[in-house]
Amino acid sequence: MHSLELQSVNSVQERPFHSGFLLSAVFSRATFSALAMAESAYLPRLAIQDSNVLDTPRHSALVRVTHWIHALSFLALLLSGIAILLAHPRLYWGETGARGTPSLIDLPLPFVLDVPIRGPGRYLHFLSAWVFVLTGLLYVLSGLFTRHFWKNLVPSKTDLGWQPIVRVVSSHVRLRRPAEEESRSYNVLQRLTYLAVVFFLTPLIIITGLAMSPAVTSVFPVIVNVFGGQQSARTIHFFVTIALVLFLLVHIAMVCLAGFKNRMRAMIAGHGATRKEPS
């Protein structure tokens, strides 16, 4: 009898221990779950880790802002440049050139003299040019300071070999869509092209534009003398513009080929969605 009472007392004494242990375990698990949910709410990348899609960073805010300002200013420069060109669609070489004098190239465009588009075109051209120059200067200085060009655009020695370049060119000619791994960085052809645009074509079109300004050349005549005259600078300015337009068209085509929605998302929001590699 006493043994039964003793067992019952022991069981009553042990129940609070077991029940308290279970309650604490449940409470700890619930707390951990709540903390994990809160952490995933404040850290979106934590929740993405279990998905098949990774939200990978692509472009900094400065690169995105300068990219779109450059795009809009270049479009304004192109349209206003066409308006200026239609007033005299002929190219010359040397210091002077006018109707009735021998021309270097007669462009297949009409003379538009009756419509007053040259004056407004010049104003828009000069305004857009300064926006283009200042934005480009900010982009270049930031790229040099953050080593953006060295890390993302300068190709490695292995990429400069003949076989890698041929392989990339062959893929572009065949319009083959790049794989996920390839789309996360620039290939050697893209790197060389971007470097040529940033450090050769863009400075050249700016300098030739300044060489056509009498206000600038009166103070710095060396700018126009190095090209052999204002008309020579105008002709070079025209062909550099054609090269930049071709670059823009190829750039848009490659963006569409690589995935227009994802590329636009990366250049607007700064992140691009890529498929997670199977482990």
What percentage of residues in the chain have a pLDDT greater than 70? 73
Determine the Cα–Cα distance for residues 133 and 260; give it in Å rounded to an integer: 28
User: pLDDT tens digit string along 111-125?
Assistant: 988 878 888 899 999
User: pLDDT tens digit string along 262-274?
Assistant: 888 888 887 665 5
Q: pLDDT band at residue 41, thresholds of 50, 70 and 90? A: very low
More confident residue, 40 or 235: 235
**pLDDT of 24 higher than 80:** no
Q: pLDDT band at residue 100, thresholds of 50, 70 and 90? A: confident
**pLDDT of 240 higher than 50:** yes
What percentage of residues in the chain have a pLDDT greater than 90? 45
**What fold, for 55-275?**
Fumarate Reductase Cytochrome B subunit (1.20.950)
- Helix ranges (H only) for 43-117 are 44-48, 61-85
Q: What is the pLDDT of residue 126?
A: 94
pLDDT (average), residues 18-32:
40
Which residue's entry shows tokens 């050139």?
Answer: 97
Torsion angle, alpha carbons of 219, 130, 117, 94, to 10: 40
**pLDDT of 225 higher than 80:** yes
User: pLDDT tens digit string along 49-67?
Assistant: 444 444 555 678 888 999 9
Q: Are 189 and 155 in contact (CB under 8 A)?
A: no
Q: What is the pLDDT of residue 28?
A: 42
Could you give the angle at the alpha carbon of 60 between the alpha carbons of 252 and 268, nearest 5°?
45
Domain ranges of the chain: 2-48, 55-275
More confident residue, 100 or 47: 100
Q: What is the pLDDT of residue 262?
A: 83
More confident residue, 49 or 131: 131
Pairing of strands 53-57, 90-91: unpaired
Determine the Cα–Cα distance for residues 206 and 226; give it in Å rounded to an integer: 14
